């Protein structure tokens, strides 16, 4: 099968290269003449069907450029440690690396800026929604392409809930109705665990931003201890401690646990990344069917819905000895045509691939992409119109851990105001020590 694909691809490429115009132009802005043929690139990537699909298609890249690739896949829970170790080793073991956007600033010193390459090849970050583009940039420079990026959606059981919640007050109301109905199911699965990846901040940010609050003020100081921000945080925690509409295990849940709770029919709602839809309706992973799973935009807090967007960019390592070849790979890997195929074709090289993630604005609105994925991209597109990202500062992992600890302790019954105020004081010391504030 692979030999057949390669032969067909070669035939197609030959037709492309010797067409009537005889332009000799390769697709995706790739350089002509295979100047880097024989180079082998080592790629560090998170484990996901999306990137499995890209890896299984990379014979196209090799046919076009003569550049070979070797992928190393790491589970998300171990990826941060691996990326950090790569930066410390500074040996260029990996030419291209994949990481969570909030890890970018602490590692920015060894991630190659790609602005000059983009300008030379006519590529603009405007092809992505603003939040996705921002997530791959630091200190005025673009560090990579947000090839895996996510919008937040509210997933719910269509067979139990007639209309999705438009507000967080609706979440509480629907939750109470489910509890009173006698259904053997928790209303909503949240994830308050302080897991080291700061996942328990993901939904909290919706409350904070919608209330007009910010993580940092204009001077770079903690701003989550203003009255509006504290009230929003109390309301978020109260879903678990007062309204009691959350799954009782939400204190120990990380995001994966909450998803499993929903997919196993133990929770009726979950606010989570849009990519999870494919697993929710996959019979090998879930007890639910497509007829049971609905999705909608995130609920508003007050009068506004502001969502958190996240990405996992691919960047060229500054320690790589193959930077130009790596840029060729990024151009191929990030092209919207490949992305569309990867979200609509369900089998690659004989392997089943179920992936709904696209990051280009054109593909988020594409009819074929949406038709293949129950229109979830259109829902994500709407969600992304009012989205923001985690603060892009090198100290964020330490500051974020302080916040994550406070949120976990508040959900466990601690005094929310006291914990968040203390977290602001502790974070201020971190920022002063780093010289970020006076």
pLDDT of 320 > 70? The answer is yes
pLDDT of 5 > 80? The answer is no
pLDDT at 195: 85
**Cα separation of 364 and 16, whole Å?**
27
pLDDT at 44: 98
Residue 24 pLDDT level (bands cut at 50, 70, 90): low
Give the C-alpha distances (Å, rounded to integers) separating 132 from 111, 142, 220, 380, 402.
18, 12, 22, 12, 25
**Cα separation of 269 and 261, whole Å?**
10
pLDDT at 196: 82
pLDDT of 97 > 50? The answer is yes
**Cα separation of 26 and 33, whole Å?**
9
Beta strands in 61-159 (DSSP E): 68-74, 96-98, 137-138, 141-142, 145-150, 152-157
Domain extent listing, the chain: 27-150+310-386, 152-308+395-433
Mean predicted confidence (pLDDT) in 373-397: 94
User: Per-residue pLDDT tens for 364-380?
Assistant: 999 999 999 999 999 99
- CATH class of segment(s) 152-308+395-433: alpha beta
pLDDT of 241 > 60? The answer is yes
pLDDT of 22 > 90? The answer is no
pLDDT at 362: 98
Q: Does domain 27-150+310-386 have CATH number 3.40.190.10?
A: yes
pLDDT at 86: 96
* Main-chain phi, psi angles of 93, to 5 degrees: -60, -40
pLDDT of 426 > 50? The answer is yes
pTM of the model: 0.87
Residue 15 pLDDT level (bands cut at 50, 70, 90): very low
3 against 74, higher pLDDT: 74
39 against 4, higher pLDDT: 39
Strands across the sheet with 310-316, in order? 68-74, 40-46, 96-98, 310-316, 145-150
Residue 23 pLDDT level (bands cut at 50, 70, 90): very low
**Summary mean pLDDT of the chain:** 93
User: Per-residue pLDDT tens for 130-185?
Assistant: 999 999 999 999 999 999 999 999 999 999 999 999 999 999 999 999 999 999 99
pLDDT at 11: 39
Mean predicted confidence (pLDDT) in 8-27: 49
Identical fold, 27-150+310-386 and 152-308+395-433? yes
C-alpha radius of gyration, the chain, whole number:
23
User: Per-residue pLDDT tens for 204-222?
Assistant: 999 999 999 999 999 999 9
């Amino acid at each position: 099968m692979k030999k057949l694909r390669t032969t067909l691809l070669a035939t197609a490429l030959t037709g492309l290269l010797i067409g009537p115009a005889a332009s000799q132009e390769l697709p995706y802005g790739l350089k002509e003449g295979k100047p880097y043929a024989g180079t082998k690139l080592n790629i560090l990537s998170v484990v996901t069907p999306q990137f499995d699909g890209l890896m299984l298609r990379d014979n196209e890249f090799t046919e076009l450029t003569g550049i070979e690739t070797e992928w190393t896949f790491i589970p998300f829970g171990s990826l941060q440690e691996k990326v950090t170790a790569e930066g410390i080793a500074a040996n260029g073991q990996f030419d291209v690396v994949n990481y969570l956007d909030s890890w970018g600033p602490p590692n920015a010193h060894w991630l190659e800026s790609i602005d000059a390459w983009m300008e030379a090849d006519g590529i603009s970050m405007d092809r992505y929604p603003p939040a996705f583009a921002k997530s791959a940039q630091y200190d005025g420079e673009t560090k990579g392409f947000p090839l895996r990026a996510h919008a937040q959606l509210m997933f719910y059981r269509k067979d139990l809930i007639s209309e999705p919640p438009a507000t967080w007050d609706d979440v509480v109301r629907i939750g109470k109705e489910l509890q009173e109905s006698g259904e053997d199911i928790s209303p909503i699965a949240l994830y308050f665990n302080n897991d080291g990846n700061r996942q328990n901040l993901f939904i909290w940010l919706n409350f904070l931003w919608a209330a007009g609050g910010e993580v940092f003020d204009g001077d770079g100081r903690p701003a989550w201890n203003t009255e509006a921000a504290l009230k929003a945080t109390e309301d978020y925690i109260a879903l678990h401690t007062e309204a009691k509409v959350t799954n009782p295990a939400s204190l120990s849940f990380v995001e994966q646990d909450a998803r499993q709770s929903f997919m196993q029919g133990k929770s009726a709602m979950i606010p989570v990344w849009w990519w999870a839809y494919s697993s929710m309706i996959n019979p090998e992973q879930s007890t639910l069917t497509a007829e049971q799973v609905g999705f909608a935009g995130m609920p508003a807090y007050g009068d506004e819905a502001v969502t958190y967007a996240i990405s996992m960019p691919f960047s060229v390592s500054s320690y790589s000895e193959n930077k130009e070849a790596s840029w060729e790979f990024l151009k191929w890997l990030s092209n919207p045509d490949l992305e569309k195929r990867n979200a609509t074709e369900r089998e690659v090289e004989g392997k089943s691939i179920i992936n709904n993630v696209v990051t280009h604005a054109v593909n988020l609105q594409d009819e074929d992409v949406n038709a293949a994925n129950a229109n979830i991209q259109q829902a994500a597109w709407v969600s992304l119109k009012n989205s923001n990202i985690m603060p892009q500062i090198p100290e964020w992992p330490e500051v974020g851990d302080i916040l994550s600890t406070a949120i976990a302790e508040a959900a466990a019954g601690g005094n929310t105001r006291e914990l968040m105020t203390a977290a602001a004081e502790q974070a201020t010391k971190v920022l002063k020590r780093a010289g970020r504030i006076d």
